[in-house]
Structure formats: structure tokens, C-alpha cells
């Protein structure tokens, strides 16, 4: 129980902090495709040590198919997230992530047979209501015009893709282990993020030099935070229901609001916090349900 709480705390803090580093890199004209691919590459190299100590032959052959699908959704979802951060506010895009528990719950109904009850449905309503407060801080308000914005569209796509990814990750964990699932997440994420980079051909290029240590600093922060966030995510998935875990992860949206204010001087923090706490209440109801 204590180890699960520690993993939850690590996930809640490291995920929005990774978003800060990702946003700073895109503000330095680094393509979201490159940020995504380089992050997966560095993680793939770092996890080779763990891979050598895993008895891969003991796992069923079906594991690789689930891992392949998980990597596909994860690479696209993370790329969409970084693209959204490039032009959007962290204090707005963070709370949008609360919709992930709803998407995962719906997906889990069909793939994992995890059926929500009336309390869970009430939690969904609260999440949507809380998002009204957050979106009202934007000039478009809570309207269709808001959902035409590229940053919101990319964030919603990221939410959908990573929510579906979460369900497949749970399958991979069940068929293997927490460590093996993390290694496969890195490897297949790198595979598909690299394919995306070749297919979409981003215009910007990463220019590393000793004179520009900013990229090294930000990528080091991203690798540390993303690696910690994903490993702790897998650990939590191994001990509890996916939709409930994703609901608990929404506590990180409060940190996203604070980080948006502290690092990027974003405004209307009080109203965003009110909406965030309402969303958290919805998440708690989903857990209780």
C-alpha cells in the first residue's frame, strides 16, 4: 500500500513537471516530433540495462502484439500533447487531461470489463462541470469556438490516445511485469515516434552545441520526469483498476495550474483552481464508485 502511494505521488508530480520542460523546448523552436522521438530514444538507451535482466522467453507471444499497439497509441498521444503545449497554456491544457479517466473508463468497459456505477457517472458530470470554469478563463469561453483552437484539439487527441494506451499498457503489465512493460513502452514508443518524424518531416532541427546547454538541460529534465512518470504509472496500474488510477492521477492538474503560473506567468489562476478542484471531486467520486 505504501509503495503504491509513493508511486502515485511520483506520478502526480513528475508528469506536469515534464510538461514544463516540453513546453520550454517547443518555445525554443524545437519540433514536437523531435522532442517526442529524442525522449523515447534516450529512455530506450537507458533502459537497456533493465532489459538484459528480464527473462523475455517466459512471457507469452501475445505480449508483443499488445505492446506494439500500446506503443502506437502512446507515441501519437505524447506527440499531440507536446504539440498542444507549444501554443497553449499549461494551466488550461493540464485540466483537460481530466477527461482521460472518462475515455479510459469507456474503453475499459469494452476491453477490460470494468463497469462504472452511478457514482462514477456523477463523477464524470463533475469533471465536465469543472472544465467549464477552466475554459471560461479563455476569450472564447466554454464554446465551440474554443474547441476549434489547435492547442485544445491536440490536447483532446492526446487525451484520447493516451487513455486508450493506458488500457493496452494494463494488458502488457498483466502479461509480463512492471519493468518489462516499461522497457517495451520505451522501445515501441521510440519506434513509432521515429516513424512519425520521418513521415511528417518537421521543419525545425535540433542544434546541439556546448554553447547552448539549454537543450541538454531540458531534455535531461524530460527524460527524468517522463521515465519516472511512466514507470510509476505502470506500477500503479499493476495494483489497481485503470480508470481509478487515472482518476487519482488527475491530482496533477492542480500542479499544472501552479506550474503554468510560476513558469509561464499564466493568468486567472484562482478560477482555474476552482475548476480543477471540482474535477478532482469528480475523480474522487469515480474512485469511490
The 3-state secondary structure of 224-236 reads HHHHHHHHHHHHH
Q: How confident is the model at residue 108 (pLDDT cuts 50, 70, 90)?
A: low
Q: Which pLDDT value is given to residue 211?
A: 47
List all residues 6 or more positions away from 124 whose beta carbon is below 8 Å from its beta carbon: 102, 105, 282, 286
The count of residues in the chain is: 289
- Supply the pTM of this predicted model: 0.87
All residues at 6 or more sequence positions from 263 whose CB lies less than 8 Å from its CB, including other chains? 20, 23, 24, 90
pLDDT tier at 263, thresholds 50, 70, 90? very high
Residue 210: pLDDT band (50, 70, 90) is very low
pLDDT digits (tens, 9 = 90+) for 219-245: 999 999 999 999 999 999 888 877 677
Say yes or no to pLDDT of 111 above 70.
no
Among candidates 156, 170, 159, which has minimal Cα distance to 113? 170
Min mean pLDDT across 97-106, 127-136, 273-282 is at 97-106
CA distances from 116 to 57, 122, 236 (A): 36, 10, 19
Residue 40 has pLDDT above 90, yes or no: yes
State the pLDDT confidence band at 207, using cuts at 50, 70 and 90: low
Amino acid at each position: 500500500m505504501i509503495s503504491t502511494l509513493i508511486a502515485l505521488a511520483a506520478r502526480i508530480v513528475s508528469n506536469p513537471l515534464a510538461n514544463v520542460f516540453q513546453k520550454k523546448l517547443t518555445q525554443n523552436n524545437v519540433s514536437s516530433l523531435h522532442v517526442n522521438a529524442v525522449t523515447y530514444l534516450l529512455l530506450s538507451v537507458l533502459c537497456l540495462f533493465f532489459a538484459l535482466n528480464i527473462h523475455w522467453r517466459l512471457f507469452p507471444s501475445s505480449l508483443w502484439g499488445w505492446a506494439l499497439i500500446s506503443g502506437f497509441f502512446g507515441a501519437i498521444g505524447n506527440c499531440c500533447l507536446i504539440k498542444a503545449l507549444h501554443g497553449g497554456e499549461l494551466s488550461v491544457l493540464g485540466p483537460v487531461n481530466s477527461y482521460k479517466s472518462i475515455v479510459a473508463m469507456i474503453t475499459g468497459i469494452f476491453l477490460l470489463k470494468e463497469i462504472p456505477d452511478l457514482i462514477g457517472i456523477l463523477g464524470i458530470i463533475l469533471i465536465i462541470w469543472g472544465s467549464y470554469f477552466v475554459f471560461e478563463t479563455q476569450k472564447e469561453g466554454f464554446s465551440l469556438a474554443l474547441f476549434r483552437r489547435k492547442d485544445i484539439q491536440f490536447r483532446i487527441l492526446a487525451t484520447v490516445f493516451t487513455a486508450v494506451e493506458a488500457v493496452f499498457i494494463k494488458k502488457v503489465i498483466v502479461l509480463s511485469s512492471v519493468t518489462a512493460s516499461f522497457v517495451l513502452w520505451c522501445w515501441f514508443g521510440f519506434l513509432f515516434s521515429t516513424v512519425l518524424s520521418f513521415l511528417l518531416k518537421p521543419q525545425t532541427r535540433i542544434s546541439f552545441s556546448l554553447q547552448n546547454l539549454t537543450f541538454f538541460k531540458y531534455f535531461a529534465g524530460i527524460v527524468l520526469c517522463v521515465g519516472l512518470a511512466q514507470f510509476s504509472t505502470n506500477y500503479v496500474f499493476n495494483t489497481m483498476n485503470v480508470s481509478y488510477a487515472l482518476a487519482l492521477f488527475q491530482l496533477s492538474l492542480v500542479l499544472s495550474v501552479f506550474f503554468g503560473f510560476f513558469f509561464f506567468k499564466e493568468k486567472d489562476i484562482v478560477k482555474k483552481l476552482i475548476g480543477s478542484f471540482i474535477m478532482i471531486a469528480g475523480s474522487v467520486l469515480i474512485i469511490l464508485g
